[in-house]
């Protein structure tokens, strides 16, 4: 077994090729080949997480995107955030989201709580 870290796309492609070969062999569990397959899969997964990490969107951007998807206007957020001026302040990042706003927006706009609870990036 000659496994090395995956540092770049070439290493990544080579690891994928080796995984294809090992899968075709269909090794029995506990063999050197199945161990190699398992380790390669873990290395590939870690490389993919690092190379193509997808960040959670900014909470305000996520709200704006959802508003666009649902064809909503600022006034449509009043039930979730408060009055029209509060909606404007939130969308213009002058005030942050409160816990009650977050829960209302998550439920009403079907946004993940994980997106809404993180700090705004701007």
**What CATH architecture is 59-117?**
Orthogonal Bundle (1.10)
**Cα dihedral 13, 18, 21, 27 in deg (nearest 10):** -140
Q: What is the pLDDT of residues 54-97, one digit of tens each?
A: 777 899 999 999 999 999 999 999 999 999 999 999 999 999 99
Q: In the chain, what are the domain boundaries?
A: 9-51, 59-117
Which tens digit of pLDDT belongs to each residue from 11-48?
999 999 999 999 999 999 999 999 999 999 999 999 99
Angle CA 121–66–112, to nearest 5: 70
């Amino acid at each position: 077994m000659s496994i090395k870290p995956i540092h770049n796309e070439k290493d990544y492609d080579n690891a994928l090729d080796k995984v294809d070969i090992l899968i075709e062999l269909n090794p029995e569990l506990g063999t050197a080949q199945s161990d190699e397959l398992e380790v390669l899969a873990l290395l590939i997964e870690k490389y993919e997480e690092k190379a193509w990490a997808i960040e959670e969107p900014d909470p305000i951007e996520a709200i704006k995107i959802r508003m666009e998807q649902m064809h909503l206007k600022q006034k449509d957020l009043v039930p979730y955030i408060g009055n029209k001026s509060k909606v404007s302040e939130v969308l213009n990042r002058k005030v942050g989201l409160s816990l009650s706003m977050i829960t209302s927006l998550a439920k009403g706009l079907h946004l993940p709580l994980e997106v809404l609870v993180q700090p705004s990036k701007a």
